Chain A
Amino acid sequence: DADVTQTPRNRITKTGKRIMLECSQTKGHDRMYWYRQDPGLGLRLIYYSFDVKDINKGEISDGYSVSRQAQAKFSLSLESAIPNQTALYFCATSDWDRETQYFGPGTRLLVL
């Protein structure tokens, strides 16, 4: 089984809808991250969390919210989706030493 899983893997939604992307990990890491990737660009950090009670904004948090339900689960929500949120979304984890980030398979989101 994969160490970092994301659901759904693909999603099509309409403008104005609320959508949640979920991430689960079995690596036992405290640190979890949500990134977004747009065509031809690198990854940009949306939110990150160092433990269950810690949530931090990344460089592009506007229009997004997150919830850290447990050490192993970190969810990303789009409260009212808009077309420019169409992108590939990645969840990642790392241990306390931050030496290596491990990525989930990604969720392709299309907002019509």
Chain B
Amino acid sequence: GIQVEQSPPDLILQEGANSTLRCNFSDSVNNLQWFHQNPWGQLINLFYIPSGTKQNGRLSATTVATERYSLLYISSSQTTDSGVYFCAVSNFGNEKLTFGTGTRLTIIP
């Protein structure tokens, strides 16, 4: 099946800093989603982005499907951005999302 690798596994930043999280995948995809899991465990969908670029406030994402990677940018980090960020993908003919192991982001006040 498709493999998903996220980097870095852990990231600690000062409040106000910017960050870039990366997701590499091993095959062509027709679905790519970014999720944020907050410290209480709740999973929230951030972006559906199988290709192209999207922005939502301080967050933006870019997927370069031909090179099999996606980037999640967080600008002006706040403590509420702390948690684990997951990338999940599925490929053509496969209805199931495969999740990466996540990037744990800790924002220090």
Residues in A lying within 8 Å of B, measured CB to CB: 40-45, 48, 50, 56, 58-59, 88, 90, 98-103, 105-106, 108
Contacts and interface: CB of A to CB of B under 8 A. Distances in A.
B97 A101 contact: yes
B66 to A, nearest CB: 21
A88 B37 CA distance: 12
A45 B41 contact: no
B33 interface: yes
B101 A40 contact: yes
A48 B86 CA distance: 20
B82 to A, nearest CB: 17
Interface string B8-52: 000000000000000000000001010100000111110010000
Contacts of A106: 41-43
A32 to B, nearest CB: 12
B101 A103 contact: no
B83 interface: no
Interface residues of B, number: 21
Taking chain A's interface residues, is the majority helix, strand, or loop, or is none over half, making it mixed?
A: strand
Given A40-B101, A98-B90, A102-B45, 19 more contacts: A42-B4, A42-B86, A42-B99, A42-B100, A42-B102, A43-B88, A56-B95, A59-B96, A90-B43, A99-B48, A100-B33, A101-B33, A101-B45, A101-B97, A103-B42, A103-B45, A105-B42, A106-B41, A106-B43
Taking chain B's interface residues, is the majority helix, strand, or loop, or is none over half, making it mixed?
A: strand
Contact of B97 (A41, A45, A50): A45
A25 B81 CA distance: 27
Contacts of B100: 42
A47 B50 CA distance: 24
- The listed residue with most B CB atoms (<10 A of its CB), out of A43, A48, A58, A99, is A43
Contacts of B44: 103
A98 B35 CA distance: 15
A54 to B, nearest CB: 11
